[in-house]
């Protein structure tokens, strides 16, 4: 598989690298970032955390703002951050920020014109890990995390594929997209009017009926402007209680939806994942 290195920066004795490649799944050129801790330079395969970002973001936001590299270097953990949607001149788009480019919602679109490219679920689940594991000293031990739209994606991927992920965490996730404006808009466009199909991408609905468990950690800021209308953590919490799901949900007083919030608690999340990746 051909990939092109776009940038390379030493960080905490590891390396942050950015690559582009043609995605067969998405039918366009995609970009992703990877942080390889110093342990990977010894030829040892290291476990991986896949990070999914939120609306309007790219692969760069988390890597530049979260301050995760220091702890990842200590723990010997790779971090892989894909873009949030397909990109390119031939890729369908919308004028609004919450649909189209930058707003892939980590689903496999079934409706035209989105279905030609918008298959982020399959890309994150299959194509990207296969590429990473074949090209870098990264093992098949995977965890997954994300923020907002990416928190939704991380939870859905882990809940639907518990055999593939050791743990899952999220900051400010969209927990019940079938019942919030962001989710209804995106799912209506990407998945169509048959709302029965939407349930496959709703973390609260999946957690409520779960029988196989991936340890889950969620942090939610109490000063988040999107809390009541879009995020609805209480629905996810009720779903976990119903199924007995091992969910730790922390409500953080005074914190908002920004990367200031993520940077404040990313160390706890990385140590949570390391505990399960190295178990």
Give catalytic residue positions.
Answer: 148, 224, 257
Which residues have a Cβ under 8 Å from the Cβ of 126 and sit 6 or more positions away?
25
* SS3 assignment, position 26: coil
Q: Are 36 and 136 in contact (CB under 8 A)?
A: yes
Backbone angles phi, psi at 166, to 5 degrees: -85, -25
Lookup: tokens for 278: 């190295």
User: Looking at the DSSP assignment, which residues form a beta bridge with residue 16?
Assistant: 9, 35
User: Looking at the DSSP assignment, which residues form a beta bridge with residue 5?
Assistant: 19
Backbone angles phi, psi at 124, to 5 degrees: -70, -35
Would you put residue 148 in left (φ > 0), alpha (ψ -120 to 50) or beta? left
- Using CA atoms, how far residue 127 sits from 30, 63, 121, 259, in Å, is 11, 21, 10, 28
Residue 118 has, within 13 A of its CA and on its CB side, a CA count of 27
**Cα angle at 87 between 84 and 91, to 5 degrees?**
120
Which residues have a Cβ under 8 Å from the Cβ of 105 and sit 6 or more positions away?
120, 149, 152, 153, 177, 183, 186, 187, 190, 201
Q: Are 1 and 135 in contact (CB under 8 A)?
A: yes
* SS3 assignment, position 255: coil
């Amino acid at each position: 598989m051909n990939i092109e290195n776009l940038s390379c920066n030493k960080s905490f004795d590891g390396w942050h690298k950015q690559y582009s490649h043609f995605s067969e799944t998405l039918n366009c050129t995609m970009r992703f970032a990877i942080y390889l801790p110093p342990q990977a330079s010894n030829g040892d395969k290291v476990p991986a955390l896949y990070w999914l970002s939120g609306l309007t973001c790219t692969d760069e936001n988390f890597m530049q703002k979260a301050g995760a590299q220091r702890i990842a270097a200590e723990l010997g953990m790779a971090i892989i951050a894909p873009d949030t949607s397909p990109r390119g001149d031939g890729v369908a788009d919308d004028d609004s920020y919450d649909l189209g480019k930058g707003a892939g919602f980590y689903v496999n679109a079934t409706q035209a014109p989105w279905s030609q490219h918008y298959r982020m679920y399959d890309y994150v689940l299959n194509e990207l890990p296969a590429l990473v594991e074949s090209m870098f000293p990264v093992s098949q031990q995977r965890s997954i995390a994300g923020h907002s739209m990416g928190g939704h994606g991380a939870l859905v991927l882990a809940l639907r594929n518990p055999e593939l992920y050791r743990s899952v965490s999220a900051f400010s996730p969209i927990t019940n997209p079938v019942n919030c404006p962001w989710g209804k808009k995106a799912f209506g466009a990407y998945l169509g009017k048959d709302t029965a199909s939407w349930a496959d991408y709703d973390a609260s609905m999946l957690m409520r009926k779960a029988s196989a468990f991936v340890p889950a950690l969620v942090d939610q800021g109490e000063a988040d402007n999107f809390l009541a209308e879009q995020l609805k953590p209480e629905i996810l919490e009720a779903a976990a209680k119903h199924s007995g799901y091992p969910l730790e949900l922390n409500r953080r007083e005074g914190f908002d939806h920004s990367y200031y919030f993520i940077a404040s608690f990313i160390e706890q999340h990385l140590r949570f994942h390391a505990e399960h990746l190295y178990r």
